[in-house]
């Protein structure tokens, strides 16, 4: 039995459906992420798990017990808020002790647990400070400690890294992974940042307009997105309109308008005549001088339209003969050279027959 079972949960605000018949199972010990653009319903779902909001229909079961009707303070679920929500009139130690006090723990045990957690989040001498005396990253750590101290069955994290700058965010991501591994508490993490979701999670549920589009491991979500939305939302991807000409267990043959024939990996449920898009990740696309005749079946001529140099890699945007654009990623691993191609250079674009993915409309 899963630790948390969300069964057909729907939540409407007036005529707007924030969460639409969503079902998710989260296993004990998992780092599970709800990922989606703002307004996709991920925060509403989180609030229903915490008990701040109630579903209009459906069930939320924790350890097999229906949570609907149980107030937030009676649920073995704690939340780390986006704004940290530390109590400004209490010291760091009192903040962390709060859930233990509410649970009626003995003073000695409270002291021991608070010190243990301060140690664990690398703030051993900060117990007597007030929240306003801490930096953003330190506040964040105190919020984690406070959420974990009473060992909830489930820790909910509502975009907790959103307010931190990029460098600190990466540090906190690593700390978060370690913290979850050491303590073994199940995390449900909400974010709109796909890189964060990919880096942290065991599994991701990609949400859009109140629906779950796909639940999978990060690598599966990235390599085999179920539909156009997931492909587009996770990482960069180029898409071209395509129609299925041949569908056999080993591969698909696609016709791309104005370009020609392309071989793509087989996919269940795809039939001849289906229309959709061929989606391909920039790092799977090879870009070379037209003189180097490509060995790959999928290769086309194009012209460099633009490029984006970001240090470690350069992204080339290539215009194909049919007017479509495709992105190709070239690592700048060779010393000294910053760019290999200029705008308007003629190039050859190619990719392996098992790269790319056909997505139905």
Partner 1 sequence: MKRGNLWLWSAAALVYAFLYIPLIIVVLYSFNDSRLNAEWVGFTLFWYKALFNNTEMLLAARNSLIIALCTSFCATLLGTMAGLAIHRYKLKVLPVLVFTPVAMPEILLGVSILLFFLQVLNFTLGMVSIIIAHTTFCIGFVAIIVRARLQGMDESIFEAARDLGASPWQTFRLVTLPLIMPAVVAGALMSFTLSIDDFVITFFTKGVGEPILPIQIYTMIKVAVTPEVNAISTLLMLLTLIMISMAARLESSSSSEGSAKPRKTAKQAAK
Point out which residues bind partner 1 (CB under 8 A): 50-52, 71-73, 77-79, 81-83, 85-89, 98-99, 102-103, 130-132, 146-147, 150
Query: Can you tell me the distance from the alpha carbon of 263 to that of 248, in angstroms, rounded to the nearest whole number?
Result: 11
Q: How far is the CB of 50 from partner 1 (least distance, A)?
A: 6
Q: What is the largest CA-CA distance in the chain?
A: 77
Q: How far is the CB of 84 from partner 1 (least distance, A)?
A: 8
Of 47 and 286, the one with the shorter C-beta distance to partner 1 is 47
Q: How far is the CB of 8 from partner 1 (least distance, A)?
A: 25
Of 88 and 184, the one with the shorter C-beta distance to partner 1 is 88
Distance, first Cα to last Cα, the chain: 35
Q: How far is the CB of 235 from partner 1 (least distance, A)?
A: 31
For residue 76, what are the CA distances in angstroms to 36, 66, 135, 337? 26, 13, 29, 56
Query: Can you tell me the distance from the alpha carbon of 83 to that of 163, in angstroms, rounded to the nearest whole number?
Result: 8
Q: How far is the CB of 126 from partner 1 (least distance, A)?
A: 16
Q: How far is the CB of 147 from partner 1 (least distance, A)?
A: 8
CB 340 within 8 A of CB 331: no
- Locate the DSSP E strands across the chain: 4-13, 16-26, 31-35, 57-62, 65-66, 77-80, 154-158, 186-191, 203-208, 211-216, 238-247, 251-256, 260-265, 275-280, 286-288, 298-309, 313-320, 325-331, 346-351, 357-360
Q: How many CB atoms lie within 10 A of CB 103?
A: 12
Of 89 and 167, the one with the shorter C-beta distance to partner 1 is 89
Of 96 and 244, the one with the shorter C-beta distance to partner 1 is 96
Of 79 and 208, the one with the shorter C-beta distance to partner 1 is 79
Of 141 and 286, the one with the shorter C-beta distance to partner 1 is 141
For residue 80, what are the CA distances in angstroms to 2, 93, 171? 22, 17, 17
Q: How many CB atoms lie within 10 A of CB 169?
A: 17
Of 105 and 228, the one with the shorter C-beta distance to partner 1 is 105
Of 39 and 76, the one with the shorter C-beta distance to partner 1 is 76
Query: Can you tell me the distance from the alpha carbon of 114 to that of 96, in angstroms, rounded to the nearest whole number?
Result: 6
Q: How far is the CB of 88 from partner 1 (least distance, A)?
A: 4
Phi-psi region of 8 (alpha: psi -120 to 50; beta: other; left: phi over 0): left
Alpha helices, DSSP H, located in 82-165: 92-102, 107-120, 136-148
Q: How far is the CB of 286 from partner 1 (least distance, A)?
A: 49
């Amino acid at each position: 039995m899963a630790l948390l079972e969300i069964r057909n949960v729907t939540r409407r605000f007036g005529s707007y459906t924030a969460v639409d018949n969503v079902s998710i199972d989260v296993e004990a010990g998992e780092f599970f992420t709800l990922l989606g653009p703002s307004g996709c319903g991920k925060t509403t779902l989180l609030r229903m798990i915490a008990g701040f909001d109630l579903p209009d229909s459906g069930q939320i079961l924790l350890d097999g017990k229906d949570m609907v009707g149980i107030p937030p303070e009676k649920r073995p679920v704690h939340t780390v808020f986006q704004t940290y929500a530390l109590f400004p009139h209490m010291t760091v130690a009192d903040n962390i002790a709060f859930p233990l006090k509410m649970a009626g723990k003995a003073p000695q045990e409270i002291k021991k647990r608070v010190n243990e957690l301060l140690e664990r989040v690398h703030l051993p001498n900060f117990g007597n400070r007030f929240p306003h005396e801490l930096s953003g990253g330190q506040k964040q750590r105190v919020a984690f400690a406070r959420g974990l101290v009473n060992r909830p069955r489930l820790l909910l994290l509502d975009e907790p890294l959103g307010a931190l700058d990029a460098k600190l965010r990466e540090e906190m991501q690593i700390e978060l992974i370690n913290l979850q591994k050491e303590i073994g508490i199940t995390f449900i993490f909400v974010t709109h940042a796909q890189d964060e979701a990919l880096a942290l999670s065991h599994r991701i549920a990609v949400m859009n307009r109140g629906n779950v589009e796909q639940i999978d491991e990060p690598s599966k979500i990235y390599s085999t997105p179920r539909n156009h939305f997931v492909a587009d939302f996770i990482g960069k991807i180029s898409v071209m309109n395509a129609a299925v000409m041949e569908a056999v267990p080993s591969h698909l043959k696609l016709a791309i308008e104005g370009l020609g024939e392309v071989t793509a990996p087989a996919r269940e449920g795809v039939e001849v005549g289906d229309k959709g898009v061929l989606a391909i990740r920039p790092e799977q696309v090879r870009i070379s001088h037209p003189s180097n005749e490509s060995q790959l079946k999928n290769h086309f001529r194009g012209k460099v339209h633009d490029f984006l140099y970001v240090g470690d890699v350069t992204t080339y945007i290539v215009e194909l003969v049919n007017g479509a654009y495709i992105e190709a990623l070239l690592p700048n691993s060779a010393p000294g050279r910053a760019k290999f191609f200029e705008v308007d250079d003629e190039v050859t674009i190619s990719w392996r027959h098992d790269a790319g993915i056909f997505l139905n409309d």
